[in-house]
Structure 1
Amino acid sequence: MTVHHRTVEVEGHEIFYREAGPVDAPVLLLLHGFPTSSHMFRDLIPKLADKYHVIAPDHLGFGYSAMPPADAFGYSFARLAEITTAFTEKLGLTAYGLYVQDYGAPIGWRMALAHPERITAIVTQNGNAYEDGIVEAMWADIVAYDADPTPENAGAVGRMHSEAMVKWQYQHGVPDQTLLSPDAWQHDLSLLSRPGADQVQVDLARTYLTNFALYPKFQEYFRTSQVPLLAVWGENDEIFPPAGAKAFRRDLPDAEVHLLPTGHFALETHAAEIATLIDGFLTRTLG
C-alpha cells in the first residue's frame, strides 16, 4: 500500500502528514503522543489503508511539522487542537474517526467538543480522559513548575525529554524488548535535540494540567454522544495504567476495551493485533 508524505500550510505554519488509502473511504485521523510524531503509525497505516482513508499529521512543534519558537507561539493543548481542526478543514474533512494516543487524546477530545458532529468513532490507545488512569507522581514536576516557574523547576520538567526517559517510555512494560526497534526513540531524540525544542516541550507540558480540568466536559461528551469507542491499551503502561481504559465504560457502556501485554507505545510491538481490532470495530460501527 502506497503511503504519501505531504505538507500543507495551516495558519501560516507548515504541517507534515502521512496519507494512504482510498479518498472515498471512511477517514481515520491518527493523532500521536509525546515525544513522537506520525512516525509512530508507520506500521499501522499500511495495515488499514486498504479499507480506510488514513491521515496522520505531526502536531505543530513535533516531527517534521514547523516548530515556531516558544516565544513566538503560545504552545498549549487548546492551540494544538485548533491547529489540527484547521488542518482537517484545509483537507476538506467533514467526518472522521479519531485514533488518539497520549498527548493526542486531549487534542482529539477538544476537537470532539468543538465539533461533535464530525466524529464518527474513536480509538483510544493509552489516551486518557478519566482520573482513574492518572498517577499523580508522574505529574509532580509539572505541577511544581506550574506553581513556581523557576529555571530549576523547568529543568526538572525538561528531564522528561532526556534520552533515558524517552527510552524508558518505549521500553518499560515490554516483556520482550528485542521486538523494539531503537529507530523509534532515536527518531524522537533527533527531533527533540533541535534548537528551541526543549522550551517548546516544557511550555506545552505545563499546559497539560488544563486537560484535567476539562475531564468532566470530555466525559459529558461521551455520555451525550454515545460515540462508538474502542480502547486498546498497553496494560503495563505506568503513565496511563489500564484503569483509564476501563473507565470509558462508565459513560459509554458499549465501549470495547482490550488490554495488550505491552507498554505505553503498544504499536511498537502489537501493530498487527491493533490493526485487526480497529478493522473489526470500524466494520461494526461504520458498516
Structure 2
Amino acid sequence: MGHSTQNKEAPPMSAVHHRYATVDGHRLFYREAGDPAAPTLLLLHGFPTSSHMFRRLVPALADRWHVIAPDHLGFGLSDAPGAEEFDYTFDGLTALTAGLLEQLGVDRYSIYVQDYGAPIGWRLALANPEAITAIITQSGNGYDAGFVESFWKPVWAYHSQQTPETEAAMREALSLEAIRWQYVTGVADESLVDPENWYHDHALVSRPGNDAVQLKLFLDYATNSPLYPRLHEYFRASRVRLLAVWGRGDEIFGPDGARAFADDLPDAEIHLLDGGHFLLESAFDEVTALIRDFLDRRVSMSGTAAP
C-alpha cells in the first residue's frame, strides 16, 4: 500500500521553539516549529515518554507545517501535580490539550497519535470532528484488535481488581528495564535506539509522587475501549484521511491494530515497517517520508482536507 516517496529532497531543518503555556492553572511544556499560518500538525506522545519522542520529527516537518508537540500533564517537562491534586484521566488530559490549542489559536489541525496520545486524539476528534483534517496513527490503537495479550493481561487484571498484587505488576512497568523493553523490543538492531530514551523517561516517571499519577492513568485506560464504537462511527461518517504506520514487531499494539482501521476507513493507508513500539527511533527516515507524502496529498496548504 502507499505511494512512492523516492526522489524527494530532504527538507531543510527548521528552528524549534521550546515553550510553556499555563492552561487551567497548569504549566504545560510544548515544542513548536514552522509558520503558524501553515496547516497545523499536533503530535501527541504516549507512555512513558513526552514530546522528547518527537525531537527529530518536529524540525523535519516544520518546513511545510506548523508543528506542535506538547507534554501531557504528569509527563516530560509539564507540571506533574500529585494524583490527589489533579484527577488524572484521559478526559482531563484531553481538556488541557484542547485548552492549549485554544490558547494558541489553533482550530483546525491534523493529529499524529501514539500510544496514550491516541485516546487523547480520539476524544479531541469526537468532541469536534470538524477540527480534524487528517490522522496519522503510529501504534495508536482505535480498535480492540491488536492488543497483545502478554503485555495487557496485567493491565486488565488491575482494571478488574486493585490489589497489592495487581498494583505491583503495574509498578513494574515503571522500572528502567520495562521502559527499555518498550524501546528495543521488535527492533532488529538495538544499537539504532538511543539509550538516553529510557534513562530520560525513567528519570521523569520516577519523580516523587509520579508513581501514583501513572497508576491512575493505567486504571483510567479502561475508559478507552468503550469509546471505540463512537470512534468507528466518526470514521465512517467523516471518511477522515488516515495513515497508519506501525512497527511489525510492536509487542504492545500489534499489527492487527493498524489493519483494523481499514474496517471503517477503506481508504486508510496502512504501512507495516520493521521496528517496534517507538518506530521513530529505528525507522525515522521511512516514517518521515510517509508522513510528508501523506500530508502533501491529503491536506491542502490552506489547512483543509484535500479531495
- The TM-score range, normalised by the shorter chain, is over 0.9
1:12 to 9, 22, 25: 25
- Which deviations, in whole Å up to 9, do the C-alpha atoms of 1:184-230 show, x marking residues without a partner? 11110110110011110011011101101111111111111110000
> Whole-Å Cα distance in 2 between the matches of residues 247 and 33 of structure 1?
20
Count residues in correspondence.
Answer: 287
Opposite residue 42 of structure 2, the aligned amino acid is L
In structure 2, the partner of 1:203 is: 216
Displacement of 1:175: 0.3
TM-score by length of 2: 0.92
CA distance in 1, matches of 2:107, 2:164: 43
Determine if the alignment matches structure 1 residue 229 to structure 2 residue 242: yes
Cα shift at 1:267: 0.4
Could you tell me which residue of structure 1 aligns to residue 189 of structure 2? 176
Following superposition, the deviation at residue 64 of structure 1 comes to: 0.2
1:274 maps to 2:268: no
2:132 aligned with 1:105: no
Q: Say which structure is richer in helix.
A: 1
- Which shifted more, 223-232 or 151-160? 151-160
Secondary structure of the 2:145 match is helix
The Cα offsets for residues 137-168 of structure 1, whole Å up to 9 and x where unpaired, read as 32222222233222332221111111111000
The whole-number CA distance in structure 1 between the counterparts of 2:32 and 2:257 is 30
Give 1:152's aligned residue: 165
2:273 pairs with 1:247: no
1:228-265 CA distance string (max 9 Å, x none): 00001111101001111011011111110111100000
1:61 aligned onto 2:78: no
Is 1:133 aligned to 2:146, yes or no? yes
Question: What is the rounded CA distance, in whole Å, between the counterparts of 2:285 and 2:86 in structure 1?
Answer: 38
Aligned residue in 2 for 1:73: 86
Aligned partner of 1:39 in structure 2 is 52
What amino acid is aligned across from residue 276 of structure 1 in structure 2?
A: A
Could you tell me how far 1:269 is from its partner in structure 2? 1.1
Tell me the distance in 2 between the aligned counterparts of 1:221 and 1:165. 35
The answer as to whether partners of 1:20 and 1:49 remain within 8 angstroms in 2 is: yes
Query: Which deviates the most, 133-142 or 11-20?
Result: 133-142
Aligned residue number for residue 98 of structure 2: 85
Is this contact kept in 2: 1:44–1:272, CA < 8 A? no
Report the CA distance between 1:178 and its aligned residue. 1.0
Cα distance in 1 for residues equivalent to 2:263 and 2:155: 28
Q: Say if 1:47 and 1:272, in contact at 8 Å, map to a contact too.
A: no
* Unmatched segments (≥5 aa) in structure 1: none
Conserved? CA contact 2:152–2:252, under 8 Å:
no
User: What's the TM-score once normalised by structure 1's chain length?
Assistant: 0.98
Q: 2:304 maps to what in 1?
A: none
Q: CA deviation at 1:76?
A: 0.9
Partner Cα separation in structure 2 for residue 147 and residue 180 of structure 1: 35
CA contact (8 A) 1:233 1:245 kept: yes
Identity over the aligned pairs, expressed in percent?
A: 56
> Following the alignment from structure 2 to structure 1, what is the Cα–Cα distance between the partners of residues 274 and 158?
34
What are the Cα deviations for residues 63-99 of structure 1, in whole angstroms up to 9, with x where unaligned?
Answer: 0000110011111111111111111111110100000
Distance 1:267 1:95 in 2: 25
Task: Write the letter of the residue equivalent to 2:64.
Answer: K
Cα contact 1:10–1:86 (8 A) shared by 2? yes
